[in-house]
């Protein structure tokens, strides 16, 4: 107990992160990973976690929290009729983007992430997040790549790629799936609602993968299971659970233009800060 109490400043910080993560999960369908990963990264650095595992611990812990954020968020969005179940989980599972996204997320966590350095993970996070943010800020509101989401071989290829990339970034995939669906003719509110479901398809297998791949790794912070820090998971998940419904209500009360602008600016700020850390 005394050891746990010595972490109270960190627990206060994690509580604030949880509140913002829950809000962004409901508001943008992004699971809160873009908020959690940078803060967890700096928190673990302050605890003396070695640089070679610190980003792995940050993305793994973020993924574990997103499991519960995504469940809460998809239920909230589903009440508004904003989840496309034909994309997320149709009657034939092999036609499900959710299935292939989950497969990619598991492979990304158990095989790809352990083979990448913390610096590589940070730069991947920063570059991909910046590109997505710029699209939301400057993209033409009515621009479409196509009128519907591609099927066929695109499901395992695109889904698997999105899942793997999301896993190694520690995000719920909304940063990638929201703009992709929107460019394929899915309205922004429906894209956000469906992305919250993809977040669960990413976070659950990714978390299992990070627990397995990080088992016995040296230098992890206290209270860790594999690369997943259970203290960070418990505090952030508990607080975020309370703020997700507020984010959902805000999302459905805002215009598409304003929602895209806020999403893009927030993501760009986070990406720039992570890139600065990796390059200094």
Q: Could you report the per-residue pLDDT of 137-173, keeping only the tens digit for each?
A: 886 656 677 778 888 888 999 999 999 999 998 887 7
Beta bridge partners of 141: none
Cβ(18)–Cβ(69) under 8 Å?
no
Handedness of CA 13, 18, 21, 26 (dihedral sign): negative
Q: For residue 230, count CB atoms less than 10 angstroms from its CB and return exposed for 0-12, middle for 13-18, buried for 19 or more.
A: middle
pLDDT confidence band for 255 (50 / 70 / 90): confident
Largest CA distance in the chain: 58
pTM > 0.75: yes or no: yes
Determine the average pLDDT of the residues in 210-221.
Answer: 92
Look at residue 163 in the predicted model and tell me its pLDDT: 93
Q: Is 220 exposed, middle or buried (0-12, 13-18, 19+ CB in 10 A)?
A: buried
Confidence band (pLDDT; 50, 70, 90) for 249? Answer: confident
pLDDT tens string 92-123: 888 889 999 999 999 999 999 999 988 888 88
Domain boundaries, the chain: 51-279
Read off the pLDDT of residues 48-59 as tens digits, 9 standing for 90 and up: 889 889 999 999
Confidence category of residue 42, pLDDT binned at 50, 70, 90: confident
* 10-35 confidence digits (pLDDT tens): 788 788 888 877 777 677 656 667 77
Mean pLDDT of 226-249: 87
């Amino acid at each position: 107990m005394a050891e746990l109490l010595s972490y109270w400043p960190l627990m206060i910080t994690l509580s604030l992160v949880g509140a913002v993560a829950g809000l962004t999960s409901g508001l943008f369908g992004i699971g809160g990973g873009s908020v959690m990963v940078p803060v967890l990264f700096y928190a673990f650095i302050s605890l003396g976690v070695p640089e070679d595992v610190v980003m792995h611990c940050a993305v793994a812990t973020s993924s574990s929290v997103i499991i519960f954020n995504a469940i809460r968020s998809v239920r909230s969005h589903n009440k508004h009729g904003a989840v496309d179940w034909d994309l997320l989980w149709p009657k034939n599972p092999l036609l499900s983007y959710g299935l292939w996204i989950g497969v990619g997320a598991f492979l990304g966590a158990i095989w790809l992430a352990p083979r990448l350095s913390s610096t590589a993970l940070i730069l991947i996070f920063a570059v991909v997040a910046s590109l997505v943010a710029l699209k939301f800020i400057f993209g033409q509101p009515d621009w479409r790549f196509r009128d519907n989401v591609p099927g066929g071989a695109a499901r395992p290829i695109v889904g698997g790629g999105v899942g793997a990339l999301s896993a190694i970034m520690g995000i719920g995939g909304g940063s990638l799936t929201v703009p992709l669906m929107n460019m394929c003719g899915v309205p922004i509110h429906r894209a956000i609602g469906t992305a919250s479901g993809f977040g669960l398809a990413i976070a659950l297998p990714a978390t299992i993968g990070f627990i397995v791949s990080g088992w016995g790794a040296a230098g992890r912070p206290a209270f860790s299971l594999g690369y997943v820090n259970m203290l960070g998971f418990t505090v952030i998940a508990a607080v975020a659970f309370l703020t997700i419904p507020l984010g959902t209500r805000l999302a459905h009360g805002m215009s598409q233009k304003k929602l895209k602008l806020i999403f893009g600016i927030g993501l760009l700020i986070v990406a720039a800060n992570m890139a600065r850390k990796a390059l200094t």
